[in-house]
Amino acid sequence: MTQQLYDPALLNPIHHFLHCKTPEQWITEAVKPEHQTALLIDHCNCELKAAQTAMLLIRRYAVDKANAEILLGWLKPYEDFVYRQRGDGNFANAHAGLKKIIRSHGQNEFADELVNKMVLLIKEELHHFVQVLDIMRARGIDYHNVGAGRYAKGMMRHVRTYEPQTLVDKLICGAYIEARSCERFAMIAPHLDDELARFYVSLLRSEARHFQDYLALARQVAGEDIQDRIEHFGRVEAQLIASPDNDFKFHSGLPVTQLDKQQVG
């Protein structure tokens, strides 16, 4: 039933973009009941990190100080809850504050487009954060902050340190992270309970658009052919996904089971 909730053609650009599929071993571990709590917590965490990443890009490259402060205010209630254990997790008022318009400083030709695309992404990711949190609460799962895995760090190690190449590379990394999220939502949804399956399927369209937005921005900022750079990060991302990973997370690589650890030991 879950497979019929979305058009499989929606994922064709994702499959064409990614250099490898998620290994079956990851899916096997991800759908085990004992891993649902960890994955939901990590998923919740990933939604906030995605919003933070988009916010940092806008603040650094596209807005003045006043608009940067507005953006900080948007995320503060969520960051207080996650990192400082402040608040009850009711974000109704915080969501109302997201209606304020953010304006670019217009100092470069991509500023307006960066603001338009990343502001929408921030709003959607924060909405998804609240949705995951609500599902967790309904299941009696308490949120706690979790450490970052090797995936995003492994991608960022390849980002160049001079502009505008730094921004181009960060945007390409964002495209791969969003694309992988979309692929994994689709792959595990058919194996989950109906509520989680429908929720993950509901995320596919926005996540698919996010990857395309990141990629379009990277090309606009570069102003030249960056296909070689895109392919480079595709190989890096695939290696992270297909190689053994001790830390099981939503974007982790090939799971290292307890049996594997015992055999190595």
pLDDT of 30-81, one tens digit each? Answer: 999 889 899 999 999 999 999 999 999 999 999 999 999 999 999 999 999 9
6 within some domain: no
> Shortest CA distance to 71 belongs to which of 61, 83, 56, 84?
56
Answer yes or no: is 150 within a domain: yes
| Cβ-contact 260, 248 below 8 angstroms | no
Ramachandran bin of 106, using left for φ above 0, alpha for ψ from -120 to 50, beta for the remaining angles: left
* pLDDT tens, residue by residue, 119-131: 999 999 999 999 9
The residue that leads in pLDDT, 227 or 209, is: 227
Residue 232 lies in a domain: yes
Average pLDDT over residues 200-218: 92
pLDDT of residue 2: 42
How many residues in total does the chain contain?
Answer: 265
Q: Return the number of other C-beta atoms located less than 10 Å from residue 104's C-beta.
A: 20
Q: What's the CA gap between 182 and 254, in Å, rounded?
A: 18
Cα gap 29→106, rounded to integer Å: 47
pLDDT in tens, 171-199: 999 999 999 999 999 999 999 999 999 99
Asked if residue 138 belongs to a domain, the reply is yes
Q: Is residue 12 part of a domain?
A: no
| Residues spanned by the domain of 235 | 17-264
Question: Residue 199 belongs to a domain with what CATH number?
Answer: 1.20.1260.10
C-alpha span between 134 and 243 (Å, rounded): 33
Those residues whose C-beta lies under 8 Å from the C-beta of residue 51, and which sit 6 or more positions away, are 75, 78, 121, 122, 125, 126, 129
Nearest to 142 by CA among 47, 247, 41: 41
In a domain, 2, yes or no: no
Q: How many domains does the chain have?
A: 1
Whether residue 243 lies inside any domain: the answer is yes
